[in-house]
Every structure is written in structure tokens, then in C-alpha cells.
A and B are shown apart, each in its own frame.
Chain A
Amino acid sequence: MPPGFSSSDFYYLMPELVITAGALLVLALDVLLPRAWERVLSWVTVAVILGAGLALVPSAGQNLTIARDLVAIDGFATFFKVLFLVAAALTVLMSPRYLTLENVHPGEYYFLVLCATLGMMFMAGGVDLITLFIGLETMAVSFYVLTGIIRPNKRSNEAAIKYFVLGAFSLGLLLYGMSILYGLTGSTHLRVIATSLVAGDGGLLLPFAVMLLVAGIGFKIAAVPFHMWAPDVYEGAPTPITAFLSVGSKAASFAMLLRIFVAGLPAFRADGLGTAWGQPFGWGAFFYVLAVVTMTVGNLAALTQGNIKRLLAYSSIAHAGYILIGIVAGSTRGVSAALVYLMIYAFMQLGAFAVVVMLRRKDIIGDELKDLTGLYATHPGAAIAMLVFMLSLGGIPPTAGFMGKFWVFGAAIDAGYVWLAVIGVLNSAVSLYYYIRIVVFMWISEEEEKSAAFGISPAVATVLAVTLAMTVLLGIYPRLLFDFAQASAASLGSVPSLGLR
């Protein structure tokens, strides 16, 4: 056993270890199993994810750091790990038929999905800049490959290259920011950074570092003006990966954002970075501006999109803006509102993408709005599910999406950011226009060419059922989720060895 480690460290790292072992198992099975058994791989992957979920049970209610203080096992990490595992499982479930249609070899696909999940888990658990960065890299590299995995498809390849080049660039910015923080404090540990940094340290260097961190993470969460890659990549990537990217990668990046800023730089939220127009400001001001611009640009650009994946990409940009509102509010209530929003967003977004996956069939790519035409006539169940997802994304009660918005905007008003809430509500009013456009297409049907019915695979049907049930259930009875998120948000600032608020 390496020095500084104990057996309990491995006990708490069990979910990550299960995922790692499972990933290797999938690779091995891919080689060992005959071609005809390919389909088994998806079930093995789901089983691995479920196993990791079981291994997560001991972490519940814990609040400690392990592995030489590099990884935290707290409510915050557990919340996000649950989210990642759910998202990964649903992604895998909606994949098999899509992969067959696109002629993608499933072995490395599932391997990379598990690797990306592993990276996300360290992004949520890491309390050291190095851990966070390695988690981010693990996830990002997996996604670069997954985006371009449809080899003969130019859209897919182009998206991968773009994502890779821009991702590398943004990681450079992030790493630069991290290195300045290290230079100022002599440590990469968030606790040390939080306790040793005081306002005025390093002169302009500290605000400069914060700015680089905002830009680097802003790229990952696709906040305007760092969002340019998102529509292209979302459109080009295989649809299940688009779903996973817009949910998992985004949530993981938000987890990292919360770790670095709320746990690592708590003293600089409202002030301490200098003054602008006579007002002291902190990193909250950066996110304030990002939130406003992100929501507005995302929603306005989504209004006229004709491609569903592209439309959902802009919609996802806008949602990042709403989540940022919770972070600007900053209080435990704001952070827990952001967590609630992320979880709810995961279900409705994955559900919407599951419908798009369903539309992919032989000879039909199925990602244009007009491909939805007549869906209600041929697949009423899927159309009603999509209606609920759209209403939820638009924030209509009693769906879960309303809950998320209610808490985020409520937290903002509570913290005194009334105008931010006003802009948010205005944006969500605008957004409904394009969500309803999708609904309108589903309900229109040309009688002359009754679009042929096509089957829904049981796995995709399962995804639709789960996401639909959760979107409705979390709207009607959000209490458990809310309590979970609140406990998690509270644990963010209170890891004992971190010793900070």
C-alpha cells in the first residue's frame, strides 16, 4: 500500500474502481466475444454502471477526504456521481440500435463512455487542482474520440477536430489560471488556496488567474462567448454522445466550477478582485455577466434553428445561463438550486435526445425539425413524452423544469439579484417559443403521406419511460431531490479537513 493510503481509501474509491475495471472488462470482452454477441456489451456496460451505483452506497452521508487529501467523499461528490451514473446508464441504453445504424464498433464506444464517466467522477470529488485537471482531461479526451467515432461521417469528424483543437486551447487557459493560483499560494490544494489567499495578493495576477479560470470553465459549460464549439459539436457527434455531452460533461464542469470557486475562492465572490466603476467586485460579477449573455444569446439563437440537435444545443447553452444564476446567488440556497436544476435538466435533456435517437432510422437521419412531422399520429406515446420534455425545458408547471427555474430564480431574488431573475424569467418566456415549435411539428401531419410507423427499441423505450417519469415526478414531488441537493450544497463548504465555509 502506498504511503499515506489506507484500505478505507479504496473502500470509498470503490465506484471509481468498479468503473475502471468495468471499462477494461468491456475492452477485453470486445476482443474475446464473437461478433454476434456484440449486443451483450451494452448490457455489461449498464451492469458495470449499476455496480458502481451500488458501490456508491457507503459514501452516503460521509464527509471526509481520502487519498492523501486529494479526493473528497462528501455529499456534493455523491450528488454528482449519482447524476453521472444515471446519465451514463441512460446514454448506453439509447445507443445500441443507433450504433448499428451508424456502423460504429461498440467495444471502444462503451469503453470510452465509461472512461468519460470516470473522469467526471474525479471532477466532482477532486479537492486539489491536479485531481480536478486530470479528471477533466480523462473526460475530455474520451469525448474528443467519441465525437468523431462515426468514422466515415464528415460531420462527425469535423466536429471532433473542432472540439479537440478548441478544447486543447481552453484547457491551456485553465491550466494557466491554475498555475498562477499555485504560484500565489504555493499549493494546489483548494483548502490551502482558500485559507491563504487574501485580497490584494499578487496584484493583478489574482484577477487575471480568475479570469483565465472563468474562460476555461466557461468553455466547458458552453457559456457565451466561449460557446462557439457547442452547436457544431452537438450537431456532428453521434446523438447519444450529444446527449451525454450536454448533460454529463456540462454537469461535471459545473461541479468543478463550484469546487474551484465556491470551495477554493470563497472570499472573492462578492469583492476582493478590485473595483469597477467604484464598486468592488469578485468572481460573482464575471458569472453575472456570463449568465445574462449566455441565456440571452442561447435563446435568441435557438429561435430560428431548423436542426433539432442544433436547436437543443442552443437551448443547452441557455440552460447553462440559468444554472449560472444559482451560482451568482452564491448562498447555499443558490448552490443547491443549481444542483437541483442540473439533475432535472439531465432527465429532460436526455429524454429529448432519446426521442431524436429514436427518429434515426435507416435512410433517415431524423435530426431536422421536419422529421418530427406527424410523430403524434405514428407514435403518440413518444410525442406526448416529447411534449412533456419541451414543456419542462420551457419551465411549465407541474413539470420538473418549473421546479428548477422556481428555485434558481427564487434564490437569486432572495440574494438580492432581482434584475438577474427578471432577465431569467424573460428569457424563459422567450424560450418557450422554440420549444413549442417542436411540438407544433409533431402534431402536424400531412394526410397524403402518412409517415410509415417505425419500431422503438425496448431500450430506448425504457429511457423514454424513465426520463418521462422523473420529469413528471420531480415536478410533483421534488422534495427528496431538494433535500438531497441542499445537504450536498451544504457539504461543499464544510468538508472537515477543508475547514471553510
Chain B
Amino acid sequence: MLVLIPLLPFAGFVINAFVGRRLSKTVSGGLACLVMVAAFLVAAITGWTVISGGHAIEQTLFTWLPSGDLQIPFALRVDPLATVMILVVTGIGALIHVYSIGYMHEETDGEYARYFSYLNLFASFMLVLVLGANFPVMFIGWEGVGLCSYLLIGFWFRKKPAADAGKKAFVVNRIGDFGFILGMLLLFASFHTLDFQGVALAAAARAPETATFGLMTAATLLLFLGATGKSAQIPLYVWLPDAMEGPTPVSALIHAATMVTAGVYMIARNAVLFSHAPTTLAVVAGIGVATALMAGTIGLVQNDIKRVLAYSTVSQLGYMFLAMGMGAYAAGIFHLYTHAFFKALLFLGSGAVIHALAGEQDLRNMGGLKKALPVTYWTFLTGAIAIAGVPPLSGFFSKDEILFRTFTGTAVNGWNGRPLLWLIGIVTSLLTATYMFRLVFMAFHGERRHDAPAAPVRPEEEEPGAPVPPLPGPVYSDLPAVDRTHGATHASHAHEGAHLHDAPPSMAIPLIVLAIGSIVAGFIGVPHAIWGSNRIETFLDPSFEVSREAAATEPGAPLVDVPPAAEPHEDTGRELTLMAVSTGIAFAGIGIAMYFWLRNRAASDRMARRFAALHRLLLNKYYVDEIYDAAVVQPIRLLSTSGLWKGVDVGIIDGAVNGVGLSVGAGSRGLRRAQTGSVRTYAASLFLGVVLILGWYLWR
């Protein structure tokens, strides 16, 4: 039963990959959606069983990794945490599949089938990642989603930026995987198990490494490095904004709702282990909040609609890591779940805008779309309100829960930095509301700018910080201005000024469903303070403790209980105050956006001029890409091209080969040259190797 959930999308992948190019679009796209809906139904039934039964379901398929007396099975397990994840992946995944039918309709039959086969394969791997009962099985999904992400980012592989972005994502993720593999091997070597429950038990049997840097701290730090790669946190977040080169539904599914949350999920999955390494938790919280702030500030000045959303995703993921670092695992997963709704909605909405504007992605060339695209506008606005944290939409409850837990928890390693973390969180919250409504106002309100390609440059747009004049039309050097397919093929029937077409039904329905979700999804986590019962936390909590049955079977493992996050009942007053603060902040952010980008556009340009240096810094994303290039990429390239071996390689071999070329036809002379030239050098190097080892031996 359990294996059906990843297997259904996999079947869709196999069919579309092998016979897809011969199927019509209706069949290949319909099939892909159908398997996702079926997977969702199975996931829902499974979820219901877990909720009503109250315990995890497990299915072992076969022994996968044999290791002497220890066997690692290919096992799937669904517990409350996994239930939430499979519902998100299959549910939102199915909606995005449906949306793709409309969005990708211009592709040829073969490309269309290829797209859906990748999408199905992604869903399948994501479900393996979520359902895996041990590290290696999770790692299959972990690498698999990375591969699919790579293929989908580079879907329009004929375009160099898309291919480059795909490669960047892959390579950056490899750095993270380096941490993941090492963490996994380290756990394996010391705990002799890789099963999540087994690891939790083994960790629970040890004392928390409060003041020491021990095994668990090392392993969790390595795992966290893996999480920063997959979930786009400092220092490995750089790939996600570039990943926006992929089709927009892909950005919604992979780079907002599901794959990028894998790192958060992995930490929650190993909550017991992480709770025993408080140092790591402090690092997680610090990195999370720093990423949230940094990405939020960058998002404030970007002009590409998808990049704003990408930085927003990075920022929101930072919140989730903050929650993990605070030990508020349920709050983090709650935010993951609500974020999946509204961020998928926002991406799909931006896709509808791009679709309508024939591939235009630059906010400065949009405006006034409210009337022309009513469905898109209202759903997008819903998403923006939700992410800004206005009650009673979903984003409010989850974000507030994280901020509340941050404020009230116990001190980390004796240093009580919580108020500071909370303050940064609140500032980020202000930024979130501001950049999101900046986007809304620039795209949907004000005058229409998109149908005036020949319009003269408005003086207020001559920002001194902007690296290129914001002329509508040409591709900006630093940002891709057009969505790759739509730029070319769509222009023929749209972009005629007056009649822009709103999303077709296949795109509108997912938007509406997600908008409803963004409104109501939060109600399962209404805190006690305002007469809710926070059911999601009660539901999830068993996943973050050592299960009693598992502990009972292991007599040698005394239960060292994780200190439960302080129950907030007695804190009602404080909680209500904090809620009021964050609500106020959300409205303040919207107000700021309204002032600068709706009422008084000139003021925003004045601000940009006044703080030109800061503006340029943000516009260029703190120059992190450039720093990485100079500090990492170039040295490696240099090492590879002009290292010692390369000197021999090029200088001597090419010399020899060229020499051969000179003596055309004279094979013997070519051979003689090869003999007298390079071979001697090679023999000398061989000899030198011997001498070096001998020398070292005698000299030591």
C-alpha cells in the first residue's frame, strides 16, 4: 500500500518517458495528472489511517544494503510528520501538474511529454525522500529530486542561462551532499544503524552534548550542511534564485513548495538527534534567521518577479530553520505546510502574469494588470496577504507560532539570544510584507507600462544604482527578463496591448484552490491563546520524540526526555501581545509598500538615490556570487588548468603531438620524437616519484 504512493508517479514517468512523444498532449498531460491525483488519494487514505490509528505504518520491501551482520532494508514508514509531507507533496503537486497543462501548452508533443515525465519522476523521488525509514533510502530521494531539479531547471536547455543555472544548482547541492554523506557515515560508524528510529534511540541513550563538541554535534552539523544545500540557506543559497530559469510551475513545485523544504524535513525527522546537540541547534537558528533577513533585504530591490519570489522563499525557509533551531519542530513544519500553499499560489500567479505578458518578467514593465487579469489578481493578493502574516490567513498562524516560540524558549547553551533572534524575525516579517506588496502594487496597480515598448525612459526610473537603464524590451544584463519559452513563441498572440487574456481554466482552478487553501490552511494550528487547540502540534509531536514502543523494546536505552517546548498556556497574555505586535508589523509593511510604490513612486526612487551604495549592494545581492567565483571557482579552475600535471600534459604532450604533426607522413620520425621527447620525461617523473618516496623515507 505505502509503496504505491511513490510508485504511481513513477509509473507515469515510465510511460511518458518511453512512449510519451507518440502520445497527444491531452493523453500525456492527463496521465501525469491522473497518477498524481491517484497518489494523493492513496496518501489521503494512508494519512487517515495514521490519524485515526495514532501510530506509524511501515513497509519493508527488501534488504537493500547488506553490511555483514547488519542489514539496511529498503523500508518506507509513514508517521504524523510524513503524513503532513505526503499530503503536501501529492496534493499541491497534483494542482501544479494540472496548472502545467495550461502553462506548457505551447511545447511540442515530445517536449510536453518530457516535461511531465520529469515532473512525475520528481514527485516520485520526493515521496521516497519523505517516506524513507532510514538515511540511505532518504538519500535516494534526496539525490533524485536534485537530479530532477537539475533537469527541470535546464528544461529549456538550448538557452545557456538555463543550462548554467541547472549546473550551478547541481554543483552547489553536491557541496551539501558532501555534508549529508559524511554525517550519515559518521552516524553509521558510531550508532551502527541508519534507521531513523534507531538513531533517535541511540541518541536518546546519550546525554545531550551541552557544553561539549561530541559525535552528535559533528554529525548534526554535517547533516545541516546538507540541509543548507537543499534548502537554500547561507552559505549555499546561491543556486535557488538562478533556478528560476526553469518553467514557472517547476519553480512553484520544486523551488517553493516541496524540494527546498527537504532540509527542514530532514532536521525534523531527526529531531531527537538534533535536540541532543544544542550547539548545532544554535547554529541552525542563527543561520536560519540570518538567511531570512539577508534574503528579505535582497528581495526588496529585485525587479524580476520570479526572483523576488525566489528570495522570499529563501527568507521563509530561514524562518523554518529558525523554528528547528529553537526546538519548535512542530511550528517549523506548520510553517512549511502553510508556506507550501501560499508560495505555490504566488509562483503560479506570477506564471499567469508572465503567460499573459508573453514572457515579460520585469516588474518595471508591468503595472495595471488588476483589471485585465482579475482571477490572477485576487488570488495573488490572497497569497500576498497570507505571506505577509495578516490574521486570520494561514501565514499569520504559522509565522506567529515560530516567533512566539523564539521569544519564549529557554536559553541556548547559556547564552540567551532569543530576544535578538525574535527581533530579527520581526524585522524580516516587516520586510516580507513590504517586498510582497511592492510586487503586488508594481505588477497589478498603477499605470500600465507593458504595452508601451517605445515609451521614453521615465526620469524617475533612472536609478543611479541600476547597472543598466531600465528600458523596456531588451534583456537586462543581470536579470533574465523573459521566461524562456514564452518570450519566443507566445508573442504572436498576446502582447497586443489591450486584450491580455487571464489564466485559462486549467490554470485558474489551481489558483483558486490554492487561494482557498492559503486562507483556511492555518486553522488547524490556531494557538490556545485565542481559543484554538493547535491540533497540528498535538498531531505532530509524537514524531519528534522517541516512540514509547521503540524505547520499550530496547532495554538498554534509558529515556532521556527532550525537554518539551514550554507549554504556552500560562503565557496567554504575552502571546496575545506578541500576536498584536506581529499583526501590526504586517500592516506596517503593507503600509510602507503602499506609500512608496502606490501613492508616491518618486519617493522610492529618491530613497534609492539617497542610499545609492546600499541600493547597489542589495541589487547585486551582496556580491556573493562574485565572491564565490573569485574565492572558489577561479582557484579550482586555475589549479586544474595550470597545475603541475597540466604543465606536463600540455607543454610536453602537445609539444610532442605538434612535433608529430610537423613530420607529416614520416611515421618513424614521429615515433622517434615521441621516444626522445616525452617518454624520457615520463620515465623521469616515474623515477622522481621513486626518489621522492625514498628521499622522504631516508630523510624523516
List A residues at the B interface (Cβ < 8 Å). 152, 154-155, 157-158, 161-162, 165-166, 169-170, 173, 204, 207-208, 211-212, 214-215, 218-219, 224-226, 228-229, 231-232, 274-277, 286, 297, 300-304, 333, 391, 396-398, 402-403, 406-407, 409-410, 413-414, 418, 421-422, 425-426, 429-430, 432-433, 436-437, 440, 443-445, 447, 476-479, 482-483, 486
Contact call A301/B643, Cβ cutoff below 8 A: yes
**Helix, strand, loop or mixed for chain A's interface?**
helix
B143 at interface by CB-CB < 8 Å: yes
Contact call A433/B697, Cβ cutoff below 8 A: no
B562 at interface by CB-CB < 8 Å: no
In the bound complex, CA of A407 to CA of B68 (Å): 11
Other-chain contact of A231, B163, B175, B649 (Cβ < 8 Å): B649
Q: How far is the CB of B23 from chain A (nearest CB, A)?
A: 15
Specify which chain B residues have a CB less than 8 angstroms from the CB of A445 in the assembled complex. Answer: 158
Contact call B66/A215, Cβ cutoff below 8 A: no
Contact call B693/A215, Cβ cutoff below 8 A: yes
Contact call A421/B645, Cβ cutoff below 8 A: no
In the bound complex, CA of A225 to CA of B167 (Å): 31
Contact call A409/B185, Cβ cutoff below 8 A: yes
Mark contacts of B144-170 with chain A using CB atoms, 8 A cut-off: 1 yes-contact digit, 0 otherwise.
100100100010011000010011001
Q: How far is the CB of A419 from chain B (nearest CB, A)?
A: 11
In the bound complex, CA of A286 to CA of B696 (Å): 11
B565 at interface by CB-CB < 8 Å: no
**Known A-B contacts A301-B649, A445-B158; A165 and B675 likewise in contact (beta carbons under 8 Å):** yes
Contact call A398/B648, Cβ cutoff below 8 A: no
Other-chain contact of B686, A228, A413, A429, A476 (Cβ < 8 Å): A228
Contact call B64/A429, Cβ cutoff below 8 A: no
In the bound complex, CA of A300 to CA of B639 (Å): 7
Q: How far is the CB of B397 from chain A (nearest CB, A)?
A: 37
**Helix, strand, loop or mixed for chain B's interface?**
helix
What 3 A-B pairs are tightest by C-beta distance, nearest first?
Answer: A225-B689, A303-B640, A276-B700
Interface members, chain B 672-700 (any A CB < 8 Å): 674-675, 678-679, 682-683, 685-690, 692-694, 696-698, 700
A407-B67, A432-B171 known, 4 other contacts, Cβ within 8 Å: A157-B671, A409-B181, A478-B66, A486-B68
Specify which chain A residues have a CB less than 8 angstroms from the CB of B167 in the assembled complex. Answer: 433, 436-437, 440
In the bound complex, CA of A229 to CA of B679 (Å): 9
Contact call A157/B667, Cβ cutoff below 8 A: yes
Contact call A154/B670, Cβ cutoff below 8 A: yes
Closest residue of chain B to A169 (Cβ to Cβ) is B683
Contact call B690/A426, Cβ cutoff below 8 A: no
| Count, chain B residues at interface, CB 8 A | 68
Other-chain contact of B689, A204, A226, A409 (Cβ < 8 Å): A226
In the bound complex, CA of A231 to CA of B648 (Å): 11
B207 at interface by CB-CB < 8 Å: no
Q: How far is the CB of B346 from chain A (nearest CB, A)?
A: 30
In the bound complex, CA of A436 to CA of B64 (Å): 27
B605 at interface by CB-CB < 8 Å: no
In the bound complex, CA of A409 to CA of B189 (Å): 10
**Known A-B contacts A397-B143, A421-B185; A161 and B675 likewise in contact (beta carbons under 8 Å):** yes
Contact call A447/B158, Cβ cutoff below 8 A: yes
**Known A-B contacts A396-B143, A433-B171, A443-B154; A413 and B636 likewise in contact (beta carbons under 8 Å):** no
Other-chain contact of A443, B157, B674, B685 (Cβ < 8 Å): B157
Specify which chain A residues have a CB less than 8 angstroms from the CB of B67 in the assembled complex. Answer: 407, 410, 482
Q: How far is the CB of A337 from chain B (nearest CB, A)?
A: 10
Contact call B660/A214, Cβ cutoff below 8 A: no
Contact call A410/B189, Cβ cutoff below 8 A: yes
Other-chain contact of A482, B66, B144, B643 (Cβ < 8 Å): B66
B378 at interface by CB-CB < 8 Å: no
